[in-house]
Chains A and B, each alone.
Chain A
Amino acid sequence: MPLTVRGVRIDDTFAEAFGMRATAVIITADTAQWARQAALSMTGFATSVIGCGCEAGIDRELTGKQTPDGRPGIRVLLFAVSTGELQKQLQTRAAQCLLTSPGSACYAGIDGEETLRLGNALRYFGDGWQISKRFGSKHFWRIPVMDGEFVCEATTGLTKKAVGGGNLLILGRSVQATRAAAEAAVAAIRKVPDVVAPFPGGVVRSGSKVGSKYKGVPASTNDAYCPTLRGAVKTALDPDTKSVLEIVVDGLTSDAVASAMRAGIAAIVKLGPRRGATRISAGNYGGKLGPHHYHLRELLP
């Protein structure tokens, strides 16, 4: 039985999510703007593990009081399907996007049961002029670069408790209203700690189904949710649905993903069906593929 909260219908279904490996780094720079720039570069082209190797995004901004070197910073989260792939993505992204960004420094953003190489992998760029510094259990590298030094912690933590693929499907009567609902949900999700919404602006419009009519294509458009195919396929849409957007959430813990979905639903409901979405659903594969199930009825505001 679908539920209705403040005029927004919420399907009695669940989002199905998967266990992932995740890490976090704190990026600082002389100004908040440049810290953000480095973080945006590092988390660019990181929407889906299928094509990008990892999913990444900005968790939150940090003030000088919250960062190791007293400068403004950003905490970035990276998610991948294996420790090896996560290490590879972290290393190449840190090397190409953080090392290169003016005034940047990079520190561990998570204490994990295991560690990933950060400065330990980048230090060779110093060509023998790199300097190791230790204090207590902390270890970092100073790599001379053209604007001074790139300071980078030797390792960062790895968590195996991360969850990827928490999601909300937002259905609306117009493209504009659906987009407004998605924007409101993403804004609410951004305030939840330890989660990222890795797609552009947190939103994905090309939801996929498993399989395709073409050989060798593992996923294809989710035709049941395409409004232009409503009459041609077995649709999941209402007669008045004009647009569907999805928000995918990755979190360091299952609780964080649930909190993010709860915040997203609350924001959509608050906006209401006239200005926003008429219906909220979620994507799953029948519950057999992913170990984490988030039932929408348990996440109502």
Chain B
Amino acid sequence: MKPLTLTLRERPDQRLDLSPLVPHGLAGKTAREIEQIELQTTRHRIKVGDVFRLHAGDVEQIRIQNACDRLDYVGQEMKNGELVVDGDLGIQAGRLMAGGRLTVLGNAGPWAASGMKAGVLEIRGAAGDRLGGALAGEVAGMRGGIIIVRGSVGERAGDRMRRGTIIIEGKAGPYAGSRMIAGTVIVRDAAGPLAGFLLKRGTIVLGDNRSVLSPTFIDCGEHELVAMRWLAAMIEPYSKGAAVLLRRPFVRFAGDMAVLGKGEILVGNRN
């Protein structure tokens, strides 16, 4: 069966809330009913049919074509199925995702996969600040699932992350893995200053040894870790480059000693 396709006609006049357009939300709805779903974020009402050309199909596999950075909350609380976005997205793509697979062929804005619980989010382009992070006032960010970003990410990727895996194939901005409670963040390229700022537990893997770390991370020497070989086998289907990095020796920095200090930054060499 062909996928359900939504093609954006033109860049909308206001930001749109696309959170209703997820497989479990559209299950059992007719094309007509889907076109009546409201997406506005201002007082000016906008329905799906006003901004998207809809080609009916299987709601388990949704395609959003011609997307732009004014589309927010795409894939929010998604539980199952597949959602592929051709183009860029606005804020909080895949927020609170609990299953399924969300693929963004372009770039994603800030708070992508914020509070994600399970499933797979792949961003082929770049991602904004606080990837998988917590919103203001929340005690934990991402708590499960896997995020793969083929490009680079902004500040504080994995902020307050509790569980799950983030793979960044490009560069990470400052404070990658800040305030992490646990989980794994892999940055294949260079990370900005102060990765792992206030890291409690969890693992941050850096593929570039020129990253500037906080002095509250303590050098524990160079090691080859069996656990990383295991993890390499696990992530190989998602990122071959990251798997290669994990099989190499690392210098282990324990920290952040300014807080609990049960975390680690593993500095490797991707070259």
Contacts and interface: CB of A to CB of B under 8 A. Distances in A.
Q: Do these two chains really belong together in a complex?
A: yes
Interface of A: 28, 68-71, 103, 105, 128-129, 131-136, 138, 140, 142, 148-149, 151
B258 interface: no
A245 B235 CA distance: 50
A133 B226 contact: no
The 9 closest A-B pairs by CB, nearest first: A135-B234, A69-B229, A69-B230, A151-B226, A142-B227, A151-B227, A105-B226, A68-B230, A69-B226
Given A131-B262, A142-B225, A151-B227, 20 more contacts: A68-B230, A68-B233, A69-B226, A69-B230, A70-B232, A70-B247, A105-B226, A105-B230, A129-B262, A131-B203, A131-B227, A133-B203, A133-B230, A134-B164, A135-B146, A135-B165, A135-B184, A135-B235, A140-B227, A148-B226
Contacts, number: 55
A136 B99 CA distance: 11
Nearest to A29: B226
B182 A149 contact: no
B164 to A, nearest CB: 8
Interface of A is mostly: strand
Looking at A128, A129, A132, A151, the one whose CB has the most chain B CB atoms below 10 A away is A151
Contact of B233 (A70, A129, A131): A70
B63 interface: no
Contacts of B184: 133, 135
B234 A136 contact: yes
Nearest to A148: B223
A132 B233 contact: no
A68 B229 CA distance: 8
A111 B46 CA distance: 50
A135 B184 CA distance: 9
B231 interface: yes
Contacts of A133: 184, 203, 227, 230-231
Nearest to A129: B262
Contacts of B264: 131
Contacts of B144: 134
B250 to A, nearest CB: 12
A180 B226 CA distance: 42
Contacts of A70: 229, 232-233, 247
13 contacts: A28-B226, A68-B230, A69-B226, A69-B233, A71-B229, A128-B262, A129-B262, A133-B231, A134-B164, A135-B231, A135-B234, A136-B146, A149-B226
A132 B182 contact: yes
Nearest to B223: A148
Interface string B225-269: 111011111110000000000010000000000000010100000
A138 B230 CA distance: 11
Nearest to B144: A134
Contacts of B124: none
Nearest to A142: B227
Interface in B131-182: 144, 146, 163-165, 182
A127 to B, nearest CB: 12
B234 A140 contact: no
A135 B235 CA distance: 9
Contacts of A148: 223-226
A151 B223 CA distance: 14
A289 B89 CA distance: 68
Nearest to A144: B220
A140 B230 contact: yes
A149 B225 contact: yes
Contacts of A68: 230, 233
